[in-house]
């Protein structure tokens, strides 16, 4: 079966590199699916999920902005943010939600709200660190 090469980059480094049978991307014009032999193209990448179909199965990568370049059966993706949409990241998010709910319940028990705020901030930092999100200056 024919394949094409892909490399997905983010400021944190290479997120994915390999040979694929197909890939779908959220673009400014809508979702496009790239197959081997796709026409040359440069387009803006929107926030969403890249769905890649390789010989090892289907994988999803969450992205936030960037661009895609397709030339000669090679796809280069440069994203502002990219992370695998896998079970470990989902578990970290679920843990943070559980902690926030527990803090909400304990809120009535504590007079000193600074303890709750400190724990919640720590959870947010841990979650962002896990997902590789960096703080943006406005």
Angstrom distance (rounded) from CA 23 to CA 19 = 10
CA–CA–CA angle 20, 26, 82 (5° rounding): 70
Q: pTM for this structure? A: 0.62
Q: What would the pLDDT profile of 51-108 be if each residue is shown by its tens digit?
A: 999 888 899 888 888 999 999 999 999 998 887 876 556 665 566 567 666 766 766 5
Report whether 34 contacts 23 (CB < 8 A): yes
């Amino acid at each position: 079966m024919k394949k094409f090469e892909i490399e997905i980059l983010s400021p944190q480094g290479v997120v994915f590199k390999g040979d694929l049978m197909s890939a779908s991307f959220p673009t400014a014009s809508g979702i496009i699916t790239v197959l081997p032999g796709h026409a040359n193209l440069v387009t803006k990448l929107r926030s969403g999920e890249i769905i890649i179909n390789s010989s090892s199965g289907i994988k999803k990568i969450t992205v936030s902005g960037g661009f895609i370049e397709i030339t000669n059966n090679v796809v280069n993706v440069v994203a502002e943010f990219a992370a695998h949409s896998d079970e470990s990241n989902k578990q970290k998010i679920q843990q943070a939600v559980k902690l926030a709910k527990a803090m909400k319940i304990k809120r009535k028990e504590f007079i000193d709200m600074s303890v709750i705020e400190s724990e919640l901030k720590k959870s947010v930092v841990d979650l962002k660190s896990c997902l590789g999100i960096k703080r943006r200056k406005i």
